[in-house]
Amino acid sequence: MYWTDWGDYPKIERSGMDGSQRTVVIDQNITWPNCLAIDQQRKKLYWTDAKTRTIEVSDYDGRNRQVLISLDLPHPFGLALYGDSIYWTDWTEHTIQSANKVTGKDRRVILQGREILLDVHVFHRQRPTVTSECKVNNGGCSHLCLLSPGQKGYSCKCPTGLLLQKDQKTCSKEKIYWSDTGREKIQRSNLDGSRVENVISKGLGSVDFLAVDSVGRKLYWTDDQRKCIEVSELDGSFRKVLVWSNLDSPRAIALHYEPGYMYWTDWGNKPRIERSEMDGGKRITIIADALGWPNGLTIDKENAQLVWADARRHVIEACNLDGQHRRVLVSDVPHPYGIAVTSRHIYWTDWSERSILRVNKHTGRNMENVCANLPNLMDMHYIQLNDTGTILNIFNTLNIVKD
């Protein structure tokens, strides 16, 4: 697709019809580029310039540029092509005129005496047709199938408010998922809070932590009262208990998609951190010593480490993903609960401080109180949406996913 830009730096640009491969075609000796027309037969681009009072033509890429008409053009605006002719509107003369599209000669007035003439188009039933992958099942796209100069010839895109999933075909809304221990429900809504709906509303005990698998499109949660770890589809269907034996008080849960592991903390008589495959198989204990109240748990993928908060020992610790090389990152924290890791910082919620705090992830120093006087702080998550922005949220076990 081609378009004109009247800005401080007037130009004509083009890109794929999906917005890809954007490039400037014309940016010299152009001032008020109004309308464009494409001659598919001759592979030419035409445009009107009301400031220079010309109609010009070039190749698709801007080469072989020439002035087609430069006389008696007070204010050319709209532009169209059909057959061997070019048609345009003129604001000053209030006319629609035509001329030969190659020579600019044989001019004649088609229509006159109209006060406001803007764009003009020509429609004919025998207009040229093109083949397109988008004509067959919409290219497999859930929403928009747009032509593209890429290898496939098309790409799938999403309307505003929806995000394209990793299959590059499906658009879905961003959702917030949370557990409500008072109502014994897991719920979700759109990011703006609209369309609150129940995901799981029966058979729950005390769900303090949950995690979303945005790759496999699954919802995981721990249930302290029922002493189990469960999974379901994002809409709550196909619910299944994954881990139920030898669980005392399961708390936080974190997912590591690439190797397919899930990690969780247990507050029981023998506090520990465990790991299994995401289907509950190959379960092992990775940390079993010197734990008090292991609350929040998260994975620092950048440094391949597990990070957790221990409210009884007043520390934030880390270890390798297999439990090795354990170390204290932050000490003397009153009552840490939820925890999140970014590229530079570790954030956590603190029940005693009623605050969100952070330190430098690499040194454990430079502690800052990010937000104070916040009652009832629970879990927190850091999510980067579509690699374009960052959202940090704190709620009663809250997570965000593109659904």
Distance CA 340, CA 307 (A): 8
Identify the CATH assignment for 133-164 out of 3.30.70.3270, 3.40.50.2300, 1.10.10.10, 2.10.25.10. 2.10.25.10
Domains of the chain, by residue range, sit at 2-112, 133-164, 173-391
Task: Report how far apart, in Å, the C-alpha atoms of 351 and of each of 65, 321, 378 are.
Answer: 70, 27, 8
Structure tokens at 145: 């199938």
Give the model's pLDDT for residue 216: 81
Q: What is the DSSP string of 43-99?
A: TEEEEEETTTTEEEEEETTS-S-EEEE-SS-SSEEEEEEETTEEEEEETTTTEEEEE
* Cα 349 off chain centre by: 27
Q: Do domains 2-112 and 173-391 have the same CATH topology?
A: yes
pTM, two decimal places: 0.60
CA–CA separation, 225 and 252 (whole Å)? 14
For the residues of 278-317, what is the DSSP string, one character each?
Answer: TTS-S-EEEE-SS-S-EEEEEEETTTTEEEEEETTTTEEE
Burial of 50 (C-beta count, 10 Å sphere; 0-12/13-18/19+): buried
DSSP states along 250-272:
EEEEEEETTTTEEEEEE-SSS-E
CA distance linking residue 371 with residue 367, whole number of Å: 12
Which region holds residue 21: left if phi is over 0, alpha if psi is between -120 and 50, else beta? left
Give me Rg for the CA atoms of the chain. 31
Strand order of the sheet with strand 250-256?
250-256, 261-266, 272-277, 284-287
Neighbouring residues of 51: CB distance < 8 A, sequence distance ≥ 6: 31, 32
pLDDT along the chain (403 residues), means of 10: 94 95 96 96 96 97 97 95 95 95 96 89 78 91 92 88 81 86 91 89 94 87 97 94 96 93 95 97 97 95 95 97 96 95 94 94 92 88 55 41 42
54 beta partners: 49
**pLDDT at 151 (0 to 100):** 83
Burial class (CB in 10 A: 0-12, 13-18, 19+), 311: buried
pLDDT at 192: 79
Instruction: Output the CA–CA distances (angstroms, integers) from residue 342 to 258, 286, 347, in the order listed.
Output: 18, 23, 8
Q: Which fold has domain 173-391?
A: Neuraminidase (2.120.10)
The CATH number fitting domain 2-112, selected from 2.40.33.10, 3.40.50.2300, 2.120.10.30, 3.30.465.10: 2.120.10.30
Q: Give the number of residues written for the chain.
A: 403
Please count the helices (runs of H) and the strands (runs of E) in the chain: 0, 36
Contact 1, 149 (CB under 8 A): no
- For 181, which DSSP code? T
Strand order through the sheet with 95-100: 76-82, 85-90, 95-100, 108-112
Provide the Cα torsion 285, 289, 295, 301; round to 10°. -60
pLDDT at 385: 57
Q: Output the six-digit token pair for 29.
A: 């000796």
pLDDT at 399: 44
Q: How many CB atoms lie within 10 A of CB 124?
A: 8
Q: What's residue 401's pLDDT?
A: 42
According to DSSP, residue 402 is labeled: E
Instruction: Dig out the tokens for 280 from the structure.
Output: 């509950």
Q: Which of 327, 334, 289 is nearest to 311 (CA)?
A: 334
